[in-house]
Structure 1
Amino acid sequence: MAVRVQIVEVDGDGAESGSGAGADVAVEPLGVTDEAPDDGEELTERLTARDALADLLAVLRLCAVGKLRCSEKTSRPSAVTVTAVAEVLRHGDFYVDDPIAAFAWPLLLQAGGLAEIVGGRLTLTAKGRAALTKPPAETIRLLWKRWLSHALLDEMSRIEEIKGQRSARALTAAGPRRKAAGEALAMHCALGEWMPVDLLFGSMITEGPQFGVARDLWKLYLDDREYGSLGYDGHHGWTLLEGRYTLCLLFEYAGTLGLFDLRYGSAAGARDDFRDNWGADWIDCLSRYDGLAEIRLNRLGAYVLGLSDRYEPDAAAGEDDDRQGEDDDADDILEPIKVLPSLDVVVTGRLVPSEELLLDAFARRRSERVWALSLASLLVAIEQGRQPEELRAFLTSRAAVDELPAAVRTLFADATARSGQLRDLGYSKVVECADPALAALIGGDRKLRAICQRIGDRHLAVSPEREADFRAAVRKLGYALPL
């Protein structure tokens, strides 16, 4: 069933008005039909939950091997990074030529505290490395909550055709607006039911939560600051601003995280609510999200939004089904791999790129389809912050066995035990004393023995954060440490 609604703003007397914030809004149903409007284009249907669970691990693995770069100033991913992310997504990005999910994932990892930018490169944090072995659904719930409260950008900035957003006080604060839009998604979407986005808009307008995008409409414009200003009456409807903001949050972030299944088509010509604005003749669409037509809250979304206590995939709803529409083929079903007692991992079917990255991180590649496990290869991965449990869980699931060969289990246990024998305590400043007697005097002082540690006969180790305390205590003993 498709529902179309016409949204008009009315003033207090019931007359149509184009004024900005504060105007009442009326929703007039245009009709309910059993079929979608015939616009000559078939919609793409994406069942996103299973994709998101796989894509999360894929992007984390890509980040773990240092493949992603982001701007230290804006936190946004580079064009090369967007391409790299798109290549590991389970079914690719939503559009081939206009990244949405591939742009969102690096930002989501940063907002969730799973990755940070170090020297221009996106690097996993301790929390990010731990996420490689945790249930992906739990991590996705964390990412959504963190995005609503710690997003790295104002989603409105992704609507590039609306100019003037950087002007002082042009837009409202993004935080409260994002929170309200997120609450609306949880409030108005029923589990397992397809909902036209325009019907969602109507519910948001009439039932809230209310939010606004523009603080000063005259500072926003299309194409030309004067002629294309949105401050003119009738040129700034709810769908044009608040609707586009909601579409971005819904498509680029909630959709990427797999909270909603999506039906969408080409953005070009999908919406015409901006056509009366000056400058609209030169653009096909107002945003890359205009093609989103319908959404369906899935079980992962219900769990993430707090509508259910735990996530249980529902095969009947397509969440645990490899089929993603008629364009997919049988090759999408991944065949098991073989883990041999000889410590070889043999790939009998195909691997997705992120799985190849995982095997390359923990094993030595001997041929196109064979990887060799060894204590040395596992220890190298551990030194890079990876945990053998990540590979063990992958091999167990893909080998379709309850238990790996004994030799492989022994190898994992040995590597895990050896990795726990040493601890990195950080850097220390090494101070050399003139003779062992002085080292004993300083190292045995009541205050200094808590600050420094003796190394051999004549040397002391001082942690950098206690250096000032060390110098002060040494001076009281009648000595000085030159710079």
Structure 2
Amino acid sequence: MAVARDVNETTDGSSGAGELTVRLGARDAAADALAVLQLCAAGKLRCSEKTQRPAAATVAAVAGVLLRGDFYREEPIAAFAWPLLLQAGGLAEVVGGRLQLTARGRAALAKPVAETIRHLWRRWVGHAVIDEMGRIEEIKGQRSARALTAAAPRRKAVAEALAVCAPGEWVAVDDLFTRIRRDGPSFAVARDVWKLYLEDPQYGSLGYDGFHEWSLLEGRYVLCLLFEYAGTLGLFDLEYGDPVDARDDFRGNWGADDLDFLSRYDGLYAVRLNALGAYVFGLAERYEPEKEGGGGPGPALKVLPNLDIVVTGEVQPADELFLDAYGQRSSDRVWSLGLASLMAAIDVGRPLEDLRRFLDDHADHDIPATVTRLFEDVTARAGQLRDLGLARVVECADPAVAALIVGDRRLRRFCRPLGERHVAVPLQHEADFRTALRKLGYVIPAEPGA
């Protein structure tokens, strides 16, 4: 049944009851998705190449740009989830320990954010980069061979169960558990429950009768997927409080005496599928974001003839990061454009057209002629050079051999002349070049020790 609620939702996230907080997910997630994409574009996120998990400094950096902060100050949830969601969605990849936007990620910056969030959820369900159960750290033994079931089928089962929630209806988490057990696809977390334990593998094993109830294992898995991923993406509005002593289903287990809570998600009290969630789950054909009084899609700003950008409206983290990429910040609300700052942005893959579009969308006046001329100058300079990719340079003994190679009908497709005695071979054509070169009667000797 739906939970009866007598709290008043307020714009600052307070439930009005003192102990519980209501977080309206859609409006926060839309801003947060753009902010994290901008943070990634700025090269400020690092993740492990082995586990793909974000570094502690990255979690802190993400938390710093979230519109209303993370759900808890000391227990990262959204700040931990966002870098993983970007990777699962193919919007970012780890290169040299740093998270970088892919071509799809750069394109997402200009797409409706609801489409991006829908893509991220669907990709997470099918291609998550971690098993969410691993985030319930107090349950030990999860890495033992065959301790857990495969994550993908149970993740899909939970996603299917969440997708049948009635839009606009608050549901207590325990009632949601009942619905999932009664009507949803069945799933299990443990393959061998005896391998899972609290504190001690023998005395604290969950294999004993009565010590591995559905709410303790399957329920905690649902809480994690619901709170950390569906909640972070804003598909549900959440009502939550302090996880300490929020649930007591683990108290009878050996080793639980010293635990304040079994998981950081224990404080989730009730959820409500919102309009964004209905769109993502396919229950609505389109998503229309709710209008907020006094706000807009971004900051109101003025572009001055002296090349300064002055933000006169609300500054959201995504907007600050975007302007940081193109201008030199001179105060809290002022960024200065210049040839050097714009060329630096283009050099790291930030198109000038994105800035032009941003200014057109958010300024309440025509762009000054001085700024337009600066854009024209930068565009002309950027068009003078073109990156043709990496190439192997082959030195020939004399100009005649070089002319023979670049003139051969089979070889000329795979190389270019570089002066009189050198030939440039694009790396993607190197194998074909070497094959055709041997047929011509030549070979590039391997370097000793190579």
- Structure 2 unaligned runs (5+)? 8-16
Residue 221 of structure 2 corresponds to 245
Residue 8 of structure 1 corresponds to none
**Aligned partner of residue 280 in structure 1, secondary structure:** coil
Residue 135 of structure 2 corresponds to 158
How many Å apart are 1:413 and its aligned residue?
Answer: 6.1
Equivalent in 311, 316, 322 of residue 347 of structure 1 = 311
Residue 125 of structure 1 corresponds to 102
For residues 48-69 of structure 1, give each alpha carbon's deviation from its aligned partner in whole angstroms, at most 9, with x where no partner exists: 1111111111111111222111
The yes-or-no answer on 1:383 pairing with 2:347 is yes
How many Å apart are 1:434 and its aligned residue?
Answer: 2.6
**Residues 78-477 of structure 1: matches in 2 within 5 Å?**
78-187=55-164, 189-315=165-291, 320=292, 336-348=300-312, 351-399=315-363, 401=364, 404-405=367-368, 407-408=370-371, 411-412=374-375, 415=378, 419=382, 422-477=385-440
In the aligned structure 1, how far is the partner of 2:64 from the partner of 2:161?
33
How many Å apart are 1:352 and its aligned residue?
Answer: 4.0
In the aligned structure 1, how far is the partner of 2:197 from the partner of 2:235?
32
**Aligned partner of residue 60 in structure 2, secondary structure:** helix
Output the amino acid matched with 1:91: R
How many Å apart are 1:365 and its aligned residue?
Answer: 2.9
**Aligned partner of residue 22 in structure 2, secondary structure:** strand
For residues 269-328 of structure 1, give each alpha carbon's deviation from its aligned partner in whole angstroms, at most 9, with x where no partner exists: 11111122112221121110011011111111111111112111134xxxx4689xxxxx
For residues 140-166 of structure 1, give each alpha carbon's deviation from its aligned partner in whole angstroms, at most 9, with x where no partner exists: 111111111111110000011111111
Are the equivalent residues in 1 in contact too, given 2:40–2:101 (CA < 8 A)?
Answer: yes
Are the equivalent residues in 1 in contact too, given 2:299–2:319 (CA < 8 A)?
Answer: no
Residue 270 to residue 433, structure 1, CA distance change in 2 (3 Å): same
For residues 219-247 of structure 1, give each alpha carbon's deviation from its aligned partner in whole angstroms, at most 9, with x where no partner exists: 11111111111111111111111111011
Residue 11 of structure 1 corresponds to none
In the aligned structure 2, how far is the partner of 1:420 from the partner of 1:138?
33
Residue 180 to residue 96, structure 1, CA distance change in 2 (3 Å): same
For residues 369-389 of structure 1, give each alpha carbon's deviation from its aligned partner in whole angstroms, at most 9, with x where no partner exists: 422223442232122111234
In the aligned structure 1, how far is the partner of 2:237 from the partner of 2:139?
27
Residue 24 of structure 1 corresponds to none
Are the equivalent residues in 2 in contact too, given 1:41–1:265 (CA < 8 A)?
Answer: no
Residue 295 to residue 392, structure 1, CA distance change in 2 (3 Å): farther
Are the equivalent residues in 1 in contact too, given 2:2–2:169 (CA < 8 A)?
Answer: no
Tell me the number of residue pairs that the alignment of Structure 1 and Structure 2 aligns. Answer: 437
Output the amino acid matched with 2:389: G
Report the aligned-residue RMSD: 2.5
For residues 399-427 of structure 1, give each alpha carbon's deviation from its aligned partner in whole angstroms, at most 9, with x where no partner exists: 3x375445545655665576466442211
Equivalent in 52, 56, 72 of residue 49 of structure 2 = 72
Output the amino acid matched with 1:338: K
Residue 191 to residue 88, structure 1, CA distance change in 2 (3 Å): same
Residue 375 to residue 303, structure 1, CA distance change in 2 (3 Å): farther
TM-score between both structures, scaled by the size of structure 1: 0.84
Output the amino acid matched with 1:249: L
How many Å apart are 1:105 and its aligned residue?
Answer: 0.7
Are the equivalent residues in 1 in contact too, given 2:63–2:69 (CA < 8 A)?
Answer: yes
Residue 326 of structure 1 corresponds to none
Output the amino acid matched with 1:477: L
In the aligned structure 2, how far is the partner of 1:78 from the partner of 1:322?
37
Q: Which moved more, 1:168-177 or 1:420-429?
A: 420-429
Output the amino acid matched with 1:456: G
Output the amino acid matched with 1:377: S
In the aligned structure 2, how far is the partner of 1:465 from the partner of 1:333?
43
Residue 20 of structure 1 corresponds to none
In the aligned structure 2, how far is the partner of 1:60 from the partner of 1:395?
19
- Identical positions, percent: 67
- Structure 1 unaligned runs (5+)? 4-32, 324-331
Residue 447 to residue 166, structure 1, CA distance change in 2 (3 Å): same
For residues 404-458 of structure 1, give each alpha carbon's deviation from its aligned partner in whole angstroms, at most 9, with x where no partner exists: 4455456556655764664422111111223332222111212111222223332
How many Å apart are 1:351 and its aligned residue?
Answer: 3.2
Residue 11 of structure 2 corresponds to none
In the aligned structure 1, how far is the partner of 2:79 from the partner of 2:118?
19
Residue 421 to residue 204, structure 1, CA distance change in 2 (3 Å): farther
Residue 298 to residue 414, structure 1, CA distance change in 2 (3 Å): farther
Are the equivalent residues in 2 in contact too, given 1:2–1:35 (CA < 8 A)?
Answer: no
In the aligned structure 1, how far is the partner of 2:68 from the partner of 2:392?
51
TM-score between both structures, scaled by the size of structure 2: 0.90
Q: Which moved more, 1:458-467 or 1:246-255?
A: 458-467
Equivalent in 44, 68, 72 of residue 21 of structure 2 = 44
How many Å apart are 1:348 and its aligned residue?
Answer: 3.7
